[in-house]
Amino acid sequence: MAELSGRSALITGAGQNVGAETARRLATSGAYVGVNDIVAERAEAVVEEIRGAGGKADTVVADVTDLAAVTEAFGRFGPVDILVNNAGIPLSGFGMKVFWQEDPSAWKPFIDLNVYGPMNCTYAVLGGMVERGWGRVITIGSESARGGDRKLAAYAASKGAGPALMRSLAKEVGNKGVTCNTLSLATQARDGMDNDDGLRLKALSSYVVPRFGRSADVAAAVVWLASDDAAWVTGQTIPINGGYITT
């Protein structure tokens, strides 16, 4: 297990699912964890769980689409060594349509959260990382951006911004001890999937490893990228996808 004692990590959208598991795993590895969520109760529940297991954590409530709110909340948490840009929009809340039949107003939430969110959060912490000579920025991306998916054009376009941001910033700060990478995820399991025969068949036919992703798959990769073992890995988009795309 990676040794992250003495490091501070802030995970956005960490009140549930991938973000929550990542927060738990980073805390288990010794990091002091900031659990960000727009819903205070979700963040507080994860913090209490981490503390109950002997870890160190605090809530960091802020809307990542609001730069002023991010700057204030992150500043109260303190210096951030490891930033995980995880906050996202669950697609289940949107009616997916072919692009030319969409209402353009439906694009804005994706752009705000998936483009401005990582930019705001990274902007708030990157200068401090450079000053201290050590940092990790890890953005959670999507295989929809790498490979494309029908009826997900706006979502895919917005998720494509994160890897582009990480690649560019990697070249700006690589000589300052800071790495910037993206983890590109295929479909993550959620409640009810195991009982849906159609979704199960999709997993069997579309994935080399015949299941959907689990939060633990992502959290393990985050901990590795956050560690000194991955100090020479930067500017990369790393698939966590069960073989959904093999190039």
| Cα–Cα distance measured from residue 179 to residue 126, given in angstroms and rounded to the nearest whole number | 10
* Residues tagged active-site: 155
- Between CA 141 and CA 187, with CA 86 as vertex, the angle to 5 degrees is 50
For the sheet with 178-185, list strands across it: 56-61, 32-37, 8-11, 82-85, 135-142, 178-185, 237-240
Spatial CB neighbours of 230, under 8 Å, sequence gap ≥ 6: 179, 181, 224
User: Which stretch of DSSP H or E encloses residue 239?
Assistant: strand 237-240
For residue 61, the tally of other CB atoms under 10 A from its CB is: 18
Cα first-last separation, the chain: 28
